[in-house]
Amino acid sequence: MSRPGVVVLDYGSGNVRSAVRALEHVGADVQLTAETDAALQADGLVVPGVGAFAACMAGLRAVSGAQLVGRRLAGARPVLGICVGMQVLFEAGVEHGVRTAGLGEWPGTVERLHADVLPHMGWSVVHPPEGSRLFAGVEGERFYFVHSYAARRWEMADSSQLAPPLVSWAEHGERFVAAVENGVLAATQFHPEKSSSAGLTLLENWVGMLR
């Protein structure tokens, strides 16, 4: 059986080599590129992200990231966002009083967490809903987070025509969205590539959906 082809979108978001290595480890052929045809034709596209929401959006705009994600989703082609790569899928992010438009795939705003200690840096339990394919075999496991901002609410209304997204939660000072499975669009606030065996299992689950 051939290995699924995955593109990790290279838009200047920081060190993504660990994500490339982890995806290769679980059975994907991986390219780190922002080349349009490669990103559109790959079996799966990973949108990483570290640092500030506004900086990640600027980087995505420079490589037509919104169009790439939109065209893939329109064609039912899987996309996985990681950390700020998840945050930018929401309508907007607010950092230091500045509101920046996101990709708008989901309603809601990414905001600073209400917690005594920030950033949230370390391992936290993630609670997925029943029926999660992404978390199969790692339900209730700990994953590695590094962030100060998150979607603190899930604001998408359920549709009578479509299966509702599966939303996973974690807590640091307050509850926040830790992962979403929404058809071919999935995302994690944590770093699966830095989450030891549980993270590798989650990535293996996602790569398995690409076959």
Query: What amino acid positions are annotated as catalytic residues?
Result: 83, 191, 193
Contact 138, 198 (CB under 8 A): yes
| Cα angle for residues 139, 144, 145 (degrees, 5° grid) | 115
Closest CA to 174 of 86, 115, 87: 115
